[in-house]
Amino acid sequence: MGFHLLSPSYCCGYQPSPPISHGLLRFRPVTGIPKPSPKGQLHQSRRASKVLAYYGITTPPYKLDALEPYMSQRTLELHWGKHHRDYVDSLNKQLVKSPLYGHTMEELIKVTYNNGNPLPEFNNAAQVWNHDFFWESMQSGGGKLPQGGVLQQIEKDFDSYSNFRDTFVESAMALFGSGWVWLVLRTEEKKLSVVRTSNAICPLVWGDIPIIALDMWEHAYYLDYKDDREKYINTFMDNLVSWHAATVRMLRAEAFVNLGEPKIPVA
């Protein structure tokens, strides 16, 4: 799910020039393409040019009213259309003056996390990724029980699905302030685990593989649930979480983490 900078759809018509000796890719305007541009016109000099966009906003894989009545269309409109979009726009603005382009989103998060001393771009980058991951962690008709390989792994690592569910809910309730709750596959311990993170932090920075995420920032639930976090969390578990997405992610994760005998999840 990384954003690839050379993809034309994100480059708005710019093409990379041949690599310069110090390895930095620079984007040059392609001549002859009519485009409404601000005062930095299409010029053909070899000086560094202004890049218009690095990362784009992805849309949730469902219409904005698809999660009703558990997550209202209004919430999606604001949460995705304003909050998520703001993070993307802010990140792009920051990157104009920064030497950090050329990364996929996941690389960018690890680089800007800077081993615990996050750079200013971290918050925006991580929140862009987190929200993409969050939309894809939900689906209409979600909730119910995981199946196949995911269920087996949950039962192995938590003793039972209901143990896992209780752990997840408790962790979310115990979060102080803004943050996220995750089901991750820990790459070192090779097992599933529930973790909670503050603000924008994402388990990618520790090299773990997220499987499911729940946004516990107040803007995620306040319009629909006001201060009733418990109801929000339970509704997420019962009606929104996409175990299909979790299965796909587990499949991919098993390419990186050896979980023992080969398991062929029945999706």
Partner 1 sequence: MALRAIAGKKTLTLGLGFGPSGAAAAASFPGLGSGLHARGLVTFSLPDLPYDYGALEPAISGEIMQLHHQKHHQTYITNYNKALEQLEEAMTKGDSSKVVHLQSAIKFNGGGHINHSIFWQNLKPANEGGGEPPHGSLGWAIDTDFGSLEALVKTMNAEGTALQGSGWVWLALDREVKKLKVETTANQDPLVTKGANLVPLLGIDVWEHAYYLQYKNVRPDYLKNIWKVMNWKYASGVYEKEVA
Binding site for partner 1 (CB under 8 A): 78, 82-83, 86, 123, 176-179, 198-200, 217-219, 222-223, 226-227
Q: How far is the CB of 45 from partner 1 (least distance, A)?
A: 36
Measured from the CB atom, is 82 or 156 closer to partner 1? 82
Measured from the CB atom, is 26 or 83 closer to partner 1? 83
Measured from the CB atom, is 14 or 80 closer to partner 1? 80
φ, ψ at 84 (rounded to 5°): -60, -45
The residue written with tokens 């890719």 in the block is 25
Measured from the CB atom, is 14 or 217 closer to partner 1? 217
Measured from the CB atom, is 175 or 209 closer to partner 1? 175
Q: Give the pair of three-digit tokens for residue 41.
A: 């016109």
Q: Give the pair of three-digit tokens for residue 233.
A: 């969390």
Q: How far is the CB of 120 from partner 1 (least distance, A)?
A: 10
Q: How far is the CB of 122 from partner 1 (least distance, A)?
A: 10
Contact 32, 136 (CB under 8 A): no
Distance CA 29, CA 185 (A): 43
Q: How far is the CB of 78 from partner 1 (least distance, A)?
A: 6
Measured from the CB atom, is 60 or 179 closer to partner 1? 179
Contact 178, 199 (CB under 8 A): yes
Measured from the CB atom, is 93 or 156 closer to partner 1? 93
Q: Give the pair of three-digit tokens for residue 92.
A: 């792009």
